Structures are given as structure tokens and as C-alpha cells.
Homo-oligomer: A and B are copies of this chain.
């Protein structure tokens, strides 16, 4: 049998047929009208997994959309790699901004254009085809399991329960996920850290009803004014979060890590231009990449209160609300931070208002040590496919399922993502470069081979 590059070239027409068959299914998990499409997509995955050579593939029911599970066993004693992906996609609105039908994939300018082309049908397909190649060659020395869930885009409400109730069956040594992005096509990178998250809704109540701002204004505290004052006090002039003990568990960045970050090519002017701002702002003493990936942040994600309609209406409202979040770094416990914030927010409220804090959501940060055997295997796979060693980068986002995996299954996840900023995931005209698809498959093939090597050496 041929090498992977030749294999991809020879089989590409079939690959496209298969991937397009997935992309044509409008598996929008958020929209109940697509319930049947969800099941059809799960069934299509089941079929493709079987064709790729798994021992068994089945559809496991959940209270929501089903999860596709498959496994290929070399031996009970062999190490096991669990591959996670998701078969659901984001809604496609606004439809009029799409150049072509989001569910009729086309190849144009060397890219596949369709909803899910990257996130996560295209990226999961990379995993499938790398497995198929090695399986057909009989090369694999470790077991491979797949889970493909159908609710990632709606917050994976049933994944955690599934992990708990299928702990035995999902037993593995490492998890492999292709659902993240690289710095750029020329800067292959592996994501080694993610930020955690704590999220609250706060409610500030002033008077017991909306008041006439003429009759009461100046004498009665306005809850919007008070909310603004309280939120303004959450960060100081240095851009540091003022919650007491917030930084207790925040590790200083090592000089090595700071040097590595500083070595990432980064053009601040381009970055500003891309998002249309004249100036950046963040914690004093840290670079932009450190700020958005390795340091905590405090963002008001939403705010509302009083009159928000057209024109002018005077009112001294009864209530004001905000949705508030912090991104956390590894070692910060989101439950502890959640409590610290709630205590602080309540304590800082002046006596003229009442406040409520509702914790909404939380997730731990994640770090993958770069000396993890599977990380080293991934690094080598990337190096072979892209011709250069990938950078190890921490990213600012949060993928709560990754810390769920660690907490429930006790294993680390390797984030071998092949996305690019220009792929427009979650947006109109989502796309995936064919070149990334090909290099991705090669990189994952390399991962499996090198993983066998490091396991054999251990």
C-alpha cells in the first residue's frame, strides 16, 4: 500500500463524496425542526465509521440528540486513544450573506464551502480518514475509540452524564480532538492550554417599581447608575480584577513560557485593524497574547435595564441586570471564583440597592503538559505534515468538555486542531481549505505512528 500523500490523492474523490454526504445534512442541534436530520447525520457517521474499519459502531441515545460510539480493538492490553468530535453544526442565519447554499457543499478556490466544513464535520473527517488509512494498512498497535456527539453547539448538555454512565466503555489513555484552530496556515500550532470560565447574572434592584425620574431623580438611587459603578469597580486602573483572593491560584508565567509567547509572530497593528480598534487595553505588564490566553479577564457579556426602545423616555427604573463573566487560568477553581465574586459583589453594593447574583455556568481551565507522550506524538505528526515544529500555545477560549474529560475519565486531551481564522466557523460562508484537510490527515497519521513508538518505548 501507498504512503499517506499518495493515498489521499488516489482516494480524494471518494473522500469528497463522503464528506459532502455529511455536509449536506443540516444537523443544526439548536433547531428542533432538524431532529430527523440529526439522526440521519448520526447514522451516516455510523456507516462511515463501519466502512473505515471499526469493529463496531452504534448510536447511543441520550435525553437529547444521540451520540455515535465506535471502537476498534487491537488488544485489551494495548493503549487506547479516544477520538472526540461532534456532528452538529451552528444555525446558518443570516442566510442572505452566504455565497452558496450552506448545505450544498462546493469546492471553490481550493476550499470546501459549507456549514460544518470546518466545525466540526471537516475536522472530524480528518480523524476518520487517518484511522481508515492506518487500519487498512494494519499498522495500528493501539486501540481507537470514537465518540461523536450531537450537542456541542448547544453546550453539550448531556455529554457529562454520558461520560459518567459510560466511564468503563470510554476507558482510554488519551483523548484526541480536532476542533480548534492553528495560529495560521504558516504557523502550525497545538493548543496546550485553555482558560476556564465563571459566569453570573446579576440583578440590582432600586425602588420597588419604575419611578418618574423627575419626581425622584437625585434623591433615590438609580439601579443602572449603581450597577455601572459596581461593574466599573471590578477592575482597577492597571486592568487587574479587584475581587479579593481572585489571583490566589494564578500561577506566574515562567520566563520560558513568556519567551515562547514572545517568539510567536504577532503584528499588533494588523490585529487592531482586523477588529477595527485604535488601541488595545488590558492588564499592565502583559503582552496581548499573554492577556488573551494566559491571564484572567473580566467581561460584561450583556447588560440591560430601563427604557431601551426608540426615542427618549425618562424613567428611574426599578431594576438593572448584567451578564458577567471571567475567563480563568488553569488552577483557578471556577466554583471558588464564583463564590468570591458573589461575596464581593454583594458586599460592595451600597445600602440603597439590593443585589442578587446568580451563578450561571462555569468550567475549569485546562493545561496539557508538553512532555506528555501523546503531545510529543502530535508534535511530530504536525512537524512531518507541515514541515515545521508546531508552536505550543495556550488559547483564551474555554472548552468545558475538555476539563470534563479530565475530571470524569482522568485523562488528558490533545487538541490537534486544523482550523484557520479565515474558515468563518459559526458565520456565513464557513469553509475549509483542502490543503488543511490533506495535511491534517497526514498529521493525524503521524500522531498515531509516533504514539505507538512512544508507547513501545515506555
Contacts and interface: CB of A to CB of B under 8 A. Distances in A.
A257 B392 CA distance: 72
Interface size, A (range): 35 or more
B298 A225 contact: yes
Nearest to A325: B314
A282 B219 CA distance: 5
A308 B279 contact: no
A194 B351 CA distance: 29
Contact of A229 (B220, B232, B278, B304): B232
Interface string A90-108: 0000000000000000000
Given A208-B275, A325-B213, A397-B212, A280 B221 contact: yes
Contact of A327 (B207, B218, B224, B227): B218
A152 to B, nearest CB: 15
Contacts of A412: none
A199 interface: yes
Contact of A224 (B303, B308, B361): B303
B213 A299 contact: yes
22 contacts: A195-B214, A199-B312, A207-B276, A211-B275, A214-B327, A217-B299, A218-B295, A221-B277, A224-B301, A224-B322, A225-B300, A228-B232, A278-B354, A301-B314, A302-B308, A302-B313, A302-B317, A303-B303, A303-B305, A312-B323, A313-B323, A314-B398
Nearest to A296: B218
Contacts of A295: 218
A297 interface: yes
A217 B325 CA distance: 10
B317 A279 contact: no
B279 A351 contact: yes
Contacts of A316: 299, 301
A361 B279 contact: no
Nearest to A233: B232
Interface of A: 194-195, 197, 199, 201, 206-209, 211-222, 224-225, 227-229, 231-233, 235, 275-283, 288-289, 291-292, 295-308, 311-317, 320-323, 325, 327, 350-354, 360-361, 395-398
Given A218-B282, A361-B312, A213 B320 contact: no
Contacts of A306: 300-303, 323
A194 to B, nearest CB: 8
B307 A213 contact: no
A41 to B, nearest CB: 24
Given A228-B232, A327-B217, A398-B214, A207 B296 contact: no
Given A232-B232, A350-B281, A216 B275 contact: yes
Contacts of A213: 297, 299, 301, 325, 327
A350 B237 CA distance: 12
Given A228-B232, A312-B361, A327-B213, A396 B299 contact: no
B317 A225 contact: no
B308 A304 contact: yes
Nearest to A222: B299
A361 B312 CA distance: 7
Contacts of A323: 306-308, 312-313
Given A208-B275, A231-B228, A216 B300 contact: no
Contacts of A301: 213, 224, 306-307, 312-317
Contacts of A302: 224, 305-308, 313, 315, 317
A211 B221 CA distance: 33
A233 to B, nearest CB: 8
Contact of A281 (B220, B297, B398): B220
A216 B396 contact: yes
A218 B283 contact: yes
B283 A220 contact: no
